[in-house]
A and B are shown apart, each in its own frame.
Chain A
């Protein structure tokens, strides 16, 4: 929680102002019972109507003062708490954006989503309640105690007994509620995860007739959440009644001891009633505060979860950058690169060395899971190498600013991912201010022109979430166009032609070769036809380079490469 407190900093003036009004509020609150009593004792009982009017007027003034301060407090507390929540959300969002994929997976995307909305909601709600209720409680208590002592000091000692009991109870309940509330949040995560998968996998779920299974999965997540919520609320159900009981029993004791003191003449009868009303005031304010206690443990549990996210130190950062101006791209080089996924035992890549030059095409071939995607993901620093280095123009990429590094790169992920929005908006991911001409150019190169033309809205046609309203091949080509719009120095195509038919594939590559004269092109591919004309083919096998050269070289020297070729073309066709 402390860590989150710093997000209140900008609102300290608001909070101070609020404190002022809280004091005004509490004083008026304390003053009112006095007036109440006066109006009865001196007015009603003495039938002094003018006095009633007068005191009534004062009472109304005080009430209005009270109302004004309460409303101001309401405003200030809402404003500062919600602003605090807003800032937390921004901090969370920014933090997650700076994380690597691996770091996100550690917490899990569904959980990150819950934390950015639901948890922040809990915290800001807790904060609001805190300001509105909890702060005034101590003020009221101190005021009440002073007033009570004025009435009868020895009897006031009873507070010494009552208070600790109440505080202990609150403390005990909060302590047992905290872990439960934590559970509530993790189970909300779980529910979120199940629903999110249900939404993303809907086709598979329906195809395999797994609706019932998914329903059971949801039901168990739902039941788990309900169960824990139930126990936490049942625990909280204890709070109010027990506090009330303590309060009421206390008043009985006060009657008893008060009676004794009156009997022995140590206390006048009149003071007894007043004393009781102050004690009730104290206890009542305490009770109001504790009512809000239902919120606080939950807010604490959520605060902890938020802190966890904010505490993640992104491993891939700008810290070591020297920000050297390295000018136009002239060389990408892997030097003895080895890489191990965090937590894995075996390295995925070992001793990878090669270089890619502008205007040259480097193709990477290899069997499933041999490390092709891993290799190229090192270039935009999705991961950092374990040893060796990746260099651009002879400068280690870890020394480059991340944004600068990524400006060099046009990347087409293996799984084409489009965003909600129009086609144009998706293309503008590559270049924010791309003109229509530039976009059409990219679409033409990526062989998307025809099907975009066929859409009535053209490049303003809507794309649904993840690109589910275009065919697999269309999605892939749009992802390629997106990278083309960027016109980068290094193109990375991670198996980006796999959903294209051969004709489109070959046309696309021809068009591409005209556009990439000054860029280095890295292509991960399965099809030999895709890589035939590459300037350099790298054959990966179990994370190591087993062949490097042109098609002709490799046909002679590399057994693995020959196997790959023969798996696609029968001997007769080659011969």
Chain B
């Protein structure tokens, strides 16, 4: 049984469907990256998990408890509040209480935890230690940097020892270095506490860094989902390719310099593959298989879900026969090859 089960969720804002019939299972310990362009319905979908947004249709089940079904909330207001304390949430704008100190912000989350004063203080201090902000306990949010504020928000979201953390664009207002710090922190929390994280973002880099699974949204639907590496290596949807491959960027560069000058039999191909054995050169073997030399126009290696993945854009002079050989070879080596006019050469 998945930790979060969304079944046939739709959210209708007076005639406009923000989310359409989405079903999503999120397992304990997952870091699910939810990506998609602005207005795709990411926030709306994720907010149904803690019922900040009531769905119009569908079922929301969290930790085995049905929170919403048959068009109605299935728990009392009090039960919902208790459930929400087990689902942390952080936001793009941090949303801290500005008239409360850092300490008070975290303590606010523990208001109904029934802790005696000394234990409360201990717990808050421990949480601040976790995000490395003990020294700022008496500061007000206005005195903190964005990254520090987000860390307070994380401490606050974790106060009630939730098993789930929802993150809605939590790093979008931060610079790249701070973004990395926050992502590293989330990753550590996932590993250390087994925290399930739902990470909404439009920054693919964030997903590449820490996600284990990915869901791609468009027009209120989840159009593709699965383990990060699988989706990365075999994106089925054009939108997914745009996000994962950085294909747009590569294509733009190549279009400028090379598309015009292609000889009739030359082809521009993007190769994406998991690097499992550094002693094997995919390209050298390809050259051997087709008996001609590919020239590299662009190359890149990055960590996807902890695995090194290579991306190459190469120029191949191919006869129809050679093309067939190349396809077979690439398929046998699990290389995803995409003609840069966007026609997929191989699927596997």
A, B: real partners: no
What is A's interface to B at a CB cutoff of 8 Å?
Answer: none
What is B's interface to A at a CB cutoff of 8 Å?
Answer: none
